[in-house]
Amino acid sequence: MSRGILYSAISQALFVVGGYIIHVFLARMLGPEKYGIFGICIALITVCHVFLSSGVRQVVSKSVTEYPDGARYFLNRGILVQIVMSSVLGLFIVIFANSIAHFFGDMGLEKPLYLSAMIIVMQSLFFAYMGVLNGLKKFGGENLLMSTYSVVRTLAAIVLVYWGMGVLGGLSGFVIASVVAVLLGIFLTRNFPGRKYDNIKIGNMLKSSVPIIIIFSAFAFVLNADLLSVKYFVKGDEFAGYYTSAAAISQLNYRLLIAFGIVLFPFVSASFHNSDFDQTRKYINEVVRYSLLVTLPIVVLFSVYANDIVLLIYGSDYQFASIILRVLVWGLLFLGLASICSHVMIGIEKGNVMVKYALVGILLSVSANLILVPRMGPIGGAISTTIASCIVVILSYTYIIRSLGINIYVYSVLRVLGALALVVIFSCGLNNVGIHFVYKGIILYIAYFTILILLKEVGNNDVYVIQRLVLNTSK
């Protein structure tokens, strides 16, 4: 499994880095107001992206995991379902593009929304290819597909924006990347077996994917409801640009946690399907532990050095975004953990329970945004996301613990929290030291793991896992 996490982490890193490059380039080229338009389009695309990537893709992955000799069959059925659903979503956006632009009070949104509809249709196709590769545990191929998409998207968007196409140029990069990814997916899956399973119908596939679609679409809604609320309630188009920049930075940990969840899913699904519950518990414990060990200090440092990070990445025009970043980075950490919990719940066949928790997340997000954003402005959106995501994590992880009988190691948790507290204290002590904040962050990150080693929270077994990751020796 460690090899899969390494591959997935690399592809997610390329996805995030590519996204940062696009966001930073467009932010500096377009300015806060037009950059805000780009952010709104990306928010709508992201909701549809998750709707299409987390439904059929997961069903294809789960089906192929259980029936690997039918890989081609499930792939073809998945593609057909994706075409139907994405076409409906795309057509909806085209029809209501003018109304959506009026709703947000910005007619500059209309043309970009038309192009967004095209992106939604094209993106949906390569998600099916990612699902079949994931189900066969071909993580190298799966993440090559995602990495290629990320690189092409970045290069195409930058070139087109540089040529003066503005927001439309940035969005066109997504279209070009989707086409390239689909062609690569066709090549990677050309020799897959295609045994037919006539008892598994398209309607049944779509029906079984509904809980998955609801869960991850709910997360996408929570991820973007704050930005949409800021655009609607807060006067001044530049605030959507500020919020978009803070959200882009905050997604580093979120994407990394998604990588953990994607890789964990087929292992949990297979072990639970074979009634090997001890192995299921082991998989969950390992992934949750390592994901928190890696991401928690990053969140702390992002919150502490928010001003410096925004200034370095976006420049002084976006300095207001640092206030949002301090809070939002925690909200997306919780949302990423909720994604891991969701993959576990689906793998242990408790997707319907997770649907309830996801809907609670939507209700909390809507309520909090309606109450806090009009009163507190953009920071209210960040607080709303944090509250909703945190409660979903608590509900879902508590259920997993009770269902599988997972033990919580209290002393381990206290050691990690103690190390984080010391990092915060050390960061305050470094405030007046005349070195760049990046070097301070590296020093503090090293200090964090050094403390964990001294407390014996990180030991020889963890070194062995890291060696397997680096040397690629996992079986």
Confidence of residue 362 (pLDDT cuts 50, 70, 90): very high
Q: Which of 356, 382, 408 is the last residue of a domain?
A: 408
- Can you tell me the distance from the alpha carbon of 305 to that of 402, in angstroms, rounded to the nearest whole number? 38
Contact 293, 416 (CB under 8 A): yes
What DSSP assignment string belongs to 151-218? HHHHHHHHHHIIIIIHHHHHHHHHHHHHHHHHHHHHHHTTT------TTS-HHHHHHHHHHHHHHHHH
Whether residues 141 and 276 share a domain: the answer is: yes
115 burial type by CB count under 10 A (0-12 exposed, 13-18 middle, 19+ buried)? buried
Whether residues 336 and 355 share a domain: the answer is: yes
Q: For 137-148, what is the mean pLDDT?
A: 84
Is the per-residue pLDDT at 207 higher than 80?
no
| Stretch among 260-264, 293-297, 306-310 having the lowest mean pLDDT | 260-264
Whether residues 205 and 294 share a domain: the answer is: yes
Read off the DSSP letter of residue 289: H
Whether residues 140 and 261 share a domain: the answer is: yes
3-state helix, strand, coil in the chain (%, to 5): 90, 0, 10
Q: 13 — phi, psi (to 5°)? A: -65, -45
Contact 45, 121 (CB under 8 A): no
Contact 348, 61 (CB under 8 A): no
Tens of pLDDT, residues 81-92: 888 889 998 999
Q: How far is CA 318 from CA 1, 128, 180, 202, 240, in A?
A: 40, 38, 33, 48, 11
Q: Tokens in use for 428?
A: 């305050």
Most confident of 17-26, 276-285, 359-368, 430-439: 359-368
Sign of the CA dihedral with 82 first, then 83, 85, and 90 last? positive
Contact 383, 327 (CB under 8 A): yes
Is the backbone of residue 137 left (phi > 0), alpha (psi -120 to 50) or beta? left
Taking the CA atoms of the chain, what radius of gyration do you get in angstroms?
22
Q: Which of 408, 436, 466 is the last residue of a domain?
A: 408
Whether residues 274 and 422 share a domain: the answer is: no
- Can you tell me the distance from the alpha carbon of 98 to that of 235, in angstroms, rounded to the nearest whole number? 20
Tens of pLDDT, residues 328-337: 999 999 999 9
First-to-last CA distance in the chain?
8
- Torsion over CA of 41, 299, 24 and 224, rounded to 10 degrees? 10
Is the backbone of residue 405 left (phi > 0), alpha (psi -120 to 50) or beta? left
Confidence of residue 112 (pLDDT cuts 50, 70, 90): very high
Tens of pLDDT, residues 418-475: 988 888 888 888 877 778 888 888 999 899 888 988 888 887 776 665 555 444 434 3
Q: Which of 408, 436, 463 is the last residue of a domain?
A: 408
Contact 145, 129 (CB under 8 A): yes
Is the backbone of residue 471 left (phi > 0), alpha (psi -120 to 50) or beta? alpha
Whether residues 335 and 455 share a domain: the answer is: no
Whether residues 380 and 284 share a domain: the answer is: yes
Is the backbone of residue 191 left (phi > 0), alpha (psi -120 to 50) or beta? alpha
Is the per-residue pLDDT at 104 higher than 70?
yes
Is the per-residue pLDDT at 200 higher than 70?
no
| Stretch among 204-208, 253-257, 356-360 having the lowest mean pLDDT | 204-208
Q: For 60-80, what is the mean pLDDT?
A: 84
Contact 251, 332 (CB under 8 A): yes
- Between helices 351-376 and 321-347, what is the axis angle to 10°? 170
Residue 470 is predicted with a pLDDT of 45
**What does pLDDT average to over the chain?**
86
Whether residues 394 and 440 share a domain: the answer is: no
Q: How far is CA 193 from CA 113, 140, 207, in A?
A: 39, 18, 24
Confidence of residue 13 (pLDDT cuts 50, 70, 90): confident
Confidence of residue 33 (pLDDT cuts 50, 70, 90): confident
Structurally, the chain folds into a number of domains equal to 2
Spatial neighbors of 261 by CB under 8 A, at least 6 apart, are: 287, 336, 339, 340, 342, 343, 344
Whether residues 438 and 377 share a domain: the answer is: no
Whether residues 426 and 392 share a domain: the answer is: no
Residue 475 is predicted with a pLDDT of 39
Sign of the CA dihedral with 197 first, then 199, 201, and 204 last? negative
Whether residues 354 and 334 share a domain: the answer is: yes
Q: Tokens in use for 11?
A: 């592809």
Contact 139, 8 (CB under 8 A): yes
- Can you tell me the distance from the alpha carbon of 270 to that of 186, in angstroms, rounded to the nearest whole number? 26
Whether residues 315 and 442 share a domain: the answer is: no
Give percent of the chain above pLDDT 90.
Answer: 35
Range of the domain at 428: 414-475
Is the per-residue pLDDT at 381 higher than 90?
yes
Residue 474 is predicted with a pLDDT of 41
Identity of the amino acid at 409: Y
Question: Degrees (nearest 5) of the Cα angle 314, 385, 343?
Answer: 105
Confidence of residue 371 (pLDDT cuts 50, 70, 90): very high
- Can you tell me the distance from the alpha carbon of 135 to that of 66, in angstroms, rounded to the nearest whole number? 8
Residue 377 is predicted with a pLDDT of 94
